[in-house]
Structure formats: C-alpha cells, structure tokens
Amino acid sequence: NAGVTQTPKFQVLKTGQSMTLQCAQDMNHNSMYWYRQDPGMGLRLIYYSASEGTTDKGEVPNGYNVSRLNKREFSLRLESAAPSQTSVYFCASTQPGAYEKLFFGSGTQLSVL
C-alpha cells in the first residue's frame, strides 16, 4: 500500500522558472492538501481540495496554483518561482468526517536561487 506518493523529492529552480509538484494517493480519500514547512516553523496550508473537482485557498496561497486532476491526484504549480518559495512541501490526504489523521507524502525540498 503506497499511501501518498509525492514527486520530486528534491528540486532546484532559478528565480522565474516554473514547475509542478505531483501528488497521488491510493486510499480513496476525498480531501487532499498542500502544505509548506519553513525552517523553525510548523506546516502552513497553501491550498486544499475537499473533494474531486473543488479547490480552495489556504493560509498562504499567493504564488501557487493547484489542480485536482481526479480523486487520486492533486498537483501544485509554481508559475514563476521566487526565493521566498524555498521550502519543504508536503502533500497530505484524509477522509474528513471522522477526524481521521493526515496521511503525508515524503516531502519535496525545493530551493529557488
């Protein structure tokens, strides 16, 4: 059982470049999330998708876009990367309604130079 698969694990970008972080879960969860973790800080919600076909902004959405391609996949796109977006990104999923724990991907270490 793979759980939440997140790619890539590491990425280095130059300022202004674009990229897409991919996330897929095989647990049939309705809700999926993208978080970022900066040094010394907790996870902050970027975007989330409560169900297939819906997406909503979280706490820090500026500079990002998302796509809920289907129930399994939820991608995060940086259109024009900035050094302030250097961070560790986590994808997570859960089945809300029963206070289920979050299932996390392994994270993406992104550096923007």
Which chain residues interact with other proteins by CB under 8 A?
A: 31, 33, 35, 40-45, 48, 50, 56, 58, 88, 90, 92, 94-97, 99-102, 104, 106-107, 109
Gap between the terminal Cα atoms of the chain: 36
83 phi, psi to nearest 5 deg? -55, -30
**Rounded CA separation 25/41 (Å):** 26
**Residue 39 CB, nearest approach to other proteins (Å):** 11
For the bound state, the minimum distance from the C-beta of residue 63 to other proteins, rounded and expressed in Å, comes to 20
Find how far residue 56's CA is from the centre of its chain.
Answer: 13
Least Å distance, CB 53 to other proteins, is: 13
